[in-house]
């Protein structure tokens, strides 16, 4: 049996090796390392795939969030509502720009930000909401857009974990996660659902004026070469990464299907277990399973993690410390936020291997070992 990994990028590469190698070679042959044809092509393909009006590629998913907040012209002290149960990058850029992160609860079922908690946290200083499509499931965007409209707030969707996921409104309209709010952001970090072989990211918007600002900010605030109108940064997707993404984007839906199939296998094996809660699947989105995350009740989680490791099975805690309890937010009053649901989840979640190359034999071993440990405890 192939070694089980949280994410098996080697096995995935083996299937697309010829295309990827020749795409990378072409960039080198043409020496078009920055803003080359591969970048233009990828931007066009991703625009079509997402059904977004504008796609602005950038250097990584953290920059994408930062550029989004800069483009909205938020001022120091403005409040930005964000879940605490997320990867730190979502919340870090808020602090970096000297905005005030306002941490709110997630819905313990979906792991995504709770719209009722957002509305309760709104003050006259609130300017934006940053929902995170956690673990590959789209947040309750219809409710979030409704709140944003009533309070005149911008919505930045952190889509780093959910590229390719569809969200269906009660009207029946379907949109890609990341194209629903004011701005969407994503990451092409290697282990993400659409990963390159280094760092990469992108920003989505349907607003022409915002698209112009986003492009300028990602390129030193430049309107025309050597004319810099606003303060920006240098954030580019490089051509070699774009070449890899050009090979992988056509496979994205098939990759999501493979992840869903692995999730189905897990779901079935753990169904109705009194100590295991399998991931909720919202009826308004098709989960793309960036992670497969269980909630354990009455289980020695560290013991399970160690037992699985002894049996050659990796497992991870995403994330061991919620954002509001990170030291970096001491100066922003992080620990003063009372988030009992977030703390409760943080103590109980565990993520199992999830990627596009899991086979039946591996899934069988993983589920058997998880059940063996839990049932003997």
Ligand X SMILES: *Cc1c(COP(=O)(O)O)cnc(C)c1O
Return the structure tokens found at 188.
């092409």
Q: Shortest gap between Cβ of 159 and ligand X (angstroms)? A: 8
Question: Which is closer to ligand X, CB of 198 or CB of 312?
Answer: 198
Return the structure tokens found at 71.
């483009």
Q: Are 94 and 101 contacting, i.e. CB atoms less than 8 angstroms apart?
A: yes
Of 80, 132, 240, 345, the one binding ligand X (CB under 6 A) is: 132
For residue 125, give every residue at least 6 positions away whose Cβ sits within 8 Å of its Cβ, in sequence order, or none. Answer: 77, 78, 79, 100
Q: Shortest gap between Cβ of 249 and ligand X (angstroms)? A: 17
CA distances in angstroms from 141 to 33, 202, 299, listed in the order given: 38, 20, 33
Q: Are 157 and 180 contacting, i.e. CB atoms less than 8 angstroms apart?
A: yes
Question: Which is closer to ligand X, CB of 59 or CB of 211?
Answer: 59
Q: Residue 36: which H helix or E strand, with range?
A: none
| Binding status of residue 239 toward ligand X by CB under 6 A | no
Of 36, 131, 201, 322, the one binding ligand X (CB under 6 A) is: 201
Q: Shortest gap between Cβ of 158 and ligand X (angstroms)? A: 5
User: For this structure, is 192 an active site residue?
Assistant: yes
3-state secondary structure 107-158: CCCCCCECHHHHHHHCCCCEEEECCECHHHCCCCHHHHHHHHHHHCCEEEEE
Distance, CA of 71 to CA of 87 (rounded, Å): 22
285 DSSP 8-state letter: B
| Binding status of residue 90 toward ligand X by CB under 6 A | yes
**Catalytic position from the list 127, 192, 248, 369:** 192
| Binding status of residue 129 toward ligand X by CB under 6 A | no
Question: Which is closer to ligand X, CB of 243 or CB of 276?
Answer: 243
| Binding status of residue 187 toward ligand X by CB under 6 A | yes
Q: Shortest gap between Cβ of 199 and ligand X (angstroms)? A: 6
Only one of the segments 25-33, 82-90, 256-264, 298-306 lies at the binding site for ligand X (rule: CB under 6 A); that segment is 82-90
Of 86, 205, 239, 356, the one binding ligand X (CB under 6 A) is: 86
Which residues lie near ligand X (CB under 6 A)?
A: 60-62, 86-87, 89-90, 132, 158, 160-161, 187, 189, 199, 201
Give the active site residues.
192
């Amino acid at each position: 049996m192939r070694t089980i990994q949280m994410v098996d990028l080697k096995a995935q590469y083996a299937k697309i090796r010829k295309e990827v190698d020749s795409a990378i070679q072409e960039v080198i042959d043409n020496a078009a390392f920055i803003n080359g044809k591969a970048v233009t092509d990828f931007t066009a393909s991703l625009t079509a795939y997402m059904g977004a009006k504008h796609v602005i590629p950038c250097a990584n998913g953290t920059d994408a969030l930062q550029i989004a907040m800069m483009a909205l012209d938020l001022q120091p002290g403005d409040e930005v509502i964000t879940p605490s149960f997320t990867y730190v990058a979502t919340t870090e850029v808020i602090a970096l720009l000297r905005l005030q992160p306002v941490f709110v609860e997630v819905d313990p079922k979906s792991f995504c930000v709770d719209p009722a908690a957002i509305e309760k946290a709104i003050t006259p200083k609130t300017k934006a909401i940053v929902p995170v499509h956690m673990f590959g499931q789209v947040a309750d965007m219809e409710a979030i857009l409704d709140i944003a409209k009533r309070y005149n707030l911008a919505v930045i969707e952190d889509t780093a974990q959910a590229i390719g996921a569809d969200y269906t409104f009660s009207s029946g309209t379907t949109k890609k996660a990341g194209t629903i709010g004011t701005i969407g952001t994503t990451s092409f970090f290697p282990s993400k659902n659409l990963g390159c072989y280094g760092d990469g990211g992108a920003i989505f918007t349907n607003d022409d004026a915002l698209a112009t600002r986003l492009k300028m900010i990602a390129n030193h605030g430049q309107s025309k070469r050597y004319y810099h109108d606003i303060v920006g940064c240098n954030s580019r997707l490089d051509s070699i990464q774009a070449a890899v993404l050009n090979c992988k984007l056509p496979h994205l839906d098939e990759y999501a299907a493979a992840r869903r199939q692995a999730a189905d296998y897990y779901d079935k094996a753990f169904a109705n277990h009194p100590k295991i809660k399998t991931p909720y699947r919202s009826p308004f989105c098709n989960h793309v399973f960036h992670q497969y995350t269980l909630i354990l009740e009455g289980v020695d989680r560290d013991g399970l993690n160690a037992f699985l490791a002894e049996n050659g099975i990796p497992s991870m805690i995403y994330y061991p410390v919620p954002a509001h309890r990170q030291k970096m937010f001491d100066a922003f009053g992080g620990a003063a936020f009372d988030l009992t649901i977030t703390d409760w989840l943080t103590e109980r979640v565990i993520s199992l291997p999830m990627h596009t190359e899991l086979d039946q034999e591996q899934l069988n071993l993983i589920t058997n070992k998880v059940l063996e440990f839990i049932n003997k405890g």
